[in-house]
Amino acid sequence: MKNISSIMSISFLVPFLFVVSFPSICLSEMKTDKKTNYRWVLYGTLDLGDYYYDKGSIKKVSYKTIDVWTKRKYSKVGKDKLIQLIKNNNLSIDGWEKLDYETGLVEFDCVNKTYILIKNVQYDNRGKILKDVDFQNPTIHQTIPDSLFDILQRTVCPKK
């Protein structure tokens, strides 16, 4: 049975891995391809997995703010890294061996070139939720040039 500290620790790990795996990735380390797969559009591939955005979810929140749902389909390397991170924090990995993908809601400030993570949900290979995190006080992150977040931000934000 999980105690409150285990739940709090995994709540920290999810956003940590989400933030660490996205912004520091440079174009030189990835292949990009914008092929449509139903509503999900591939915008990057890394050793951690394939990264998509939901073209039907792009929502203008204000004159400068856009929300969009993202998806990461984990590779074997990505799954192994996340499971190892969970193990390193002495948390149970029950069910995590079936990790398949995660979705996240990102809000971009198109004027100031920043973003916040609003929500992150991780699923197993049957679509069962493994972890669901709503970020109550999200941190504002500067969009790093040539990162996956930069590619996505340039894609979803209106052109000047």
Tokens representing 113?
């070139």
Cβ 107 vs Cβ 65: under 8 Å:
yes
Q: What is the pLDDT of residue 127?
A: 96
Which of the residues in the chain have pLDDT under 70? Answer: 1-37, 160
Q: What is the CA radius of gyration of the chain?
A: 16
The model carries a pTM of 0.77
Nearest to 48 by CA among 86, 25, 78, 85: 78
Q: What is the pLDDT of residue 80?
A: 96
Q: What is the pLDDT of residue 25?
A: 37
Domains and CATH numbers, the chain: 4-156 (2.40.128)
Tokens representing 122?
């991780």
